[in-house]
Amino acid sequence: MKKQRQKTRKVTVRVTPQTAFNLERLMQISGQKTPGRVVDKLVREKMLNLRVQDEGRRG
């Protein structure tokens, strides 16, 4: 069984120089290949945290 690749979409993000520097640092620390992958990972983690918080309020 082959692992299928997810479809991707090209998005341009404008950030401050400080954020760009921090993205580069996170890229090196996490071993990601591009800043875009760091952004993907950060967004994924944030969405999971928001989902858990939302479920906590409902239940």
* pLDDT at res. 16: 98
* pLDDT at res. 59: 65
Q: Looking at the whole model, is its pTM more than 0.85? A: no
**CA dist., res. 10 & res. 15, Å (int):** 16
Higher pLDDT, 24 or 3: 24
* pLDDT at res. 39: 96
For the purposes of burial, counting CB atoms within 10 Å of the CB of 33, is it exposed (0-12), middle (13-18) or buried (19 or more)? Answer: exposed
pLDDT tens by residue, 4-44:
888 889 999 999 999 999 999 999 999 999 999 999 999 99
Tokens 């400080």 correspond to: 18
Q: For residue 57, report the phi and psi dihedrals to the nearest 5 degrees.
A: -75, -35
3: tokens are: 């692992």
